[in-house]
């Protein structure tokens, strides 16, 4: 069901319930309710009179004026003490006699509400026949008699007026409901339709679509959220394209080399040298490294990967990494200095931190200056340990600084060593540190080297 239909249906239902209630109370129950109110009034009037029997005159006057209740009070020997209106008519004497007999028969208290047509021998006007009285009489303990009588006017005339009014109200309310439903639904449906159209464009892969909506707060928020989601999809899509371009480029170079060397070794007997085999092995390990970096990144960036914290000696770990990397790079003349005063214990995921440290130190080796020196420093600041990796390279430009932690970002410059970067190393560091709630950063100035650092709780 459309929004318009639903709102219309709800409003019509609401009107129907409201009108039904109005009809019930104004037309169907009006007579009954009116009579009940009158009966209650007469009963409370009797109680008031009983309580103020010494001041009958003013109490009864008040009852007549405020509630149109007629009162007659007789003394125990039958004399009239009070009667509303003063002079008694023949008709009312007869009526009093009738009520007196009924009251005595009923044991001192008699209540009568003849809602059916009263049978009377004499009625001066035809309309008068239709009037009805509530009669209530009581003999008090001192023998006094109180007769109360209240006139009930038939509500038929009122009911037919109300009916007419209600017909008009019904028609007006139904029209109103339809008009309001149309207005509201137009207001709600219009922005949703426009959002829906934009979403269709988005589904076709046009990620720069803008979701615009006016009107309700929730709908505006929905539009903003969708615009944001479209932007995120756009970023992911761009990264995906970039990744494919990067990876295929990175894969092609070693694969071409491997194929070339392998063919030469097969076809030319003289080329089957250990050096050539080494080139093939080196290229294979480069491919291997690339693949494991991509896997590592997706592992640490995945929401589901939980780091396994253990307490371990990070200084010990640092020494191991530095000595292994020194071993590899010594032949090329690289020097990695480690400066750590005390052994520090941290509570972290050992292999994830190792991965981050490896990435920072190999980056420093790759980018350091002509002195081929990398300094690794362990500092203790309050209850934290900071590991800094300095290199003497050309540094990072202020323009590049904000981007180096992004996935697949790599600067245009060539690495110093013949290692092609994947643009993944620093994003792994970022993911690992984020998972540890640790801090990380870089201080770098163009031409003055860089200092990358990570910080963990001791």
Only one of the segments 132-140, 198-206, 313-321, 409-417 lies at the binding site for ligand ADP (rule: CB under 6 A); that segment is 409-417
The CA distance from 199 to 205, in Å, is 10
The binder of ligand ADP chosen from 72, 185, 363, 373 (CB under 6 A): 363
Q: Which residues pair with 380 in a beta bridge?
A: 385
The binder of ligand ADP chosen from 162, 423, 433, 454 (CB under 6 A): 423
The binder of ligand ADP chosen from 315, 353, 385, 425 (CB under 6 A): 425
The binder of ligand ADP chosen from 146, 150, 353, 396 (CB under 6 A): 396
Please, what sign has the CA dihedral across residues 286, 289, 295, 297?
A: negative
The binder of ligand ADP chosen from 367, 373, 392, 454 (CB under 6 A): 367
CB atoms under 10 Å from CB of 276, counted, come to 16
Q: Does 409 bind ligand ADP (CB under 6 A)?
A: yes
Which is closer to ligand ADP, CB of 329 or CB of 427?
427
* Binding string, residues 248-277; x marks residues near ligand ADP by CB under 6 A: ------------------------------
Specify the residue for token string 């000696």.
Answer: 313
Which is closer to ligand ADP, CB of 145 or CB of 361?
361
DSSP helix/strand/coil, 91 = helix
Only one of the segments 116-124, 217-225, 254-262, 389-397 lies at the binding site for ligand ADP (rule: CB under 6 A); that segment is 389-397
The binder of ligand ADP chosen from 424, 433, 454, 456 (CB under 6 A): 424
* Residue with nearest beta carbon to ligand ADP: 421
Only one of the segments 92-100, 168-176, 297-305, 425-433 lies at the binding site for ligand ADP (rule: CB under 6 A); that segment is 425-433
Which is closer to ligand ADP, CB of 254 or CB of 421?
421
Q: What's phi and psi for 412, nearest 5 deg?
A: -70, -30
Count the residues of the shown chain that bind ligand ADP, applying the rule CB under 6 A: 19
* Helices of type H across 314-423: 314-329, 350-367
Q: Does 422 bind ligand ADP (CB under 6 A)?
A: yes
Smallest gap from Cβ 398 to ligand ADP, in A, equals 13
Q: Which of residues 13-72 bind ligand ADP (CB under 6 A)?
A: none
Q: Does 211 bind ligand ADP (CB under 6 A)?
A: no
Q: Does 426 bind ligand ADP (CB under 6 A)?
A: yes
Nearest residue to 366 (alpha-carbon basis) of 427, 414, 424, 304 = 414
The CA distance from 429 to 437, in Å, is 12
Q: Does 392 bind ligand ADP (CB under 6 A)?
A: no
Q: Does 191 bind ligand ADP (CB under 6 A)?
A: no
Which is closer to ligand ADP, CB of 318 or CB of 396?
396
Smallest gap from Cβ 427 to ligand ADP, in A, equals 6
In order, the DSSP letters of 114-162 are --SPP--S--SSGGGGG-EEEEEEEE-TTS-EEEEEEEE---HHHHHHH
Smallest gap from Cβ 216 to ligand ADP, in A, equals 45
Angle between helices 314-329 and 350-367 in degrees, nearest 10: 40
Structure tokens at 204: 């076709």
Which is closer to ligand ADP, CB of 203 or CB of 418?
418
Q: Does 390 bind ligand ADP (CB under 6 A)?
A: no
The binder of ligand ADP chosen from 73, 364, 433, 456 (CB under 6 A): 364
Q: Does 391 bind ligand ADP (CB under 6 A)?
A: yes
Are 27 and 162 spatial neighbours (Cβ–Cβ below 8 Å)? yes
Binding site for ligand ADP (CB under 6 A): 359, 363-364, 367, 391, 393, 396, 404, 409-411, 421-427, 450
């Amino acid at each position: 069901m459309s929004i318009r239909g639903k709102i219309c249906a709800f409003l019509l239902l609401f009107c129907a319930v409201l009108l039904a209630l109005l009809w019930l109370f104004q037309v169907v129950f009006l007579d009954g309710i009116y009579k009940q109110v009158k009966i209650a009034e007469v009963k409370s009037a009797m109680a008031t009179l009983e309580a103020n029997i010494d001041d009958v005159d003013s109490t009864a006057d008040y009852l007549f004026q405020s509630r149109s209740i007629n009162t007659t009070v007789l003394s125990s020997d039958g004399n009239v003490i009070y009667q509303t209106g003063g002079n008694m008519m023949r008709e009312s004497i007869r009526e009093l006699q009738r009520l007196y007999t009924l009251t005595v028969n009923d044991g001192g208290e008699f209540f009568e509400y003849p809602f059916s047509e009263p049978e009377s021998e004499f009625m001066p006007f035809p309309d008068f026949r239709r009037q009805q009285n509530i009669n209530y009489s009581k003999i008090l303990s001192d023998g006094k008699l109180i007769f109360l009588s209240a006139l009930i006017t038939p509500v038929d005339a009122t009911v037919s007026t109300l009916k007419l009014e209600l017909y008009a109200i019904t028609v007006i309310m139904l029209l109103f409901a339809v008009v309001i439903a149309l207005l509201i639904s137009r207001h709600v449906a219009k922005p949703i339709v426009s959002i829906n159209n934009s979403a269709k464009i988005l589904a076709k892969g046009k990620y720069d679509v803008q979701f615009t909506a006016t009107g309700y707060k929730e709908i505006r928020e929905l539009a903003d959220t969708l615009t944001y989601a479209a932007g995120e999809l756009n970023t992911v899509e761009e990264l995906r394209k970039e990744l494919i371009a990067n990876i295929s480029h990175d894969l092609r170079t070693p694969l071409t080399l491997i194929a070339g060397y392998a063919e030469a070794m097969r076809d030319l007997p003289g080329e089957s040298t250990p050096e050539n085999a080494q080139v093939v092995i080196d290229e294979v390990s480069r491919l291997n490294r690339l693949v494991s970096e991509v896997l590592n990144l997706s592992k640490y960036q995945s929401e589901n990967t939980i780091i396994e914290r253990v307490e371990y000696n990070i200084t010990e770990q640092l020494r191991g990494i530095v000595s292994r990397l020194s071993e590899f790079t010594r032949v090329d003349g690289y020097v990695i200095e480690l400066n750590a005063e005390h052994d520090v214990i941290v509570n972290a995921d050992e292999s994830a931190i190792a991965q981050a440290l490896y990435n920072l130190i190999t980056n420093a080796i790759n980018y350091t200056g002509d002195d081929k020196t990398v300094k690794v420093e362990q500092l203790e600041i309050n209850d934290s340990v900071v590991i800094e990796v300095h290199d003497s390279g050309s540094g990072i430009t202020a323009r590049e600084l904000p981007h180096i932690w992004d996935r697949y970002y790599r600067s245009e410059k060539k690495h110093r060593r013949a290692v092609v970067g994947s643009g993944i190393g620093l994003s792994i560091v970022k993911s690992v540190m984020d998972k540890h709630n640790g801090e990380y950063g870089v201080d770098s100035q163009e031409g003055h080297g860089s200092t990358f650092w990570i910080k963990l709780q001791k």
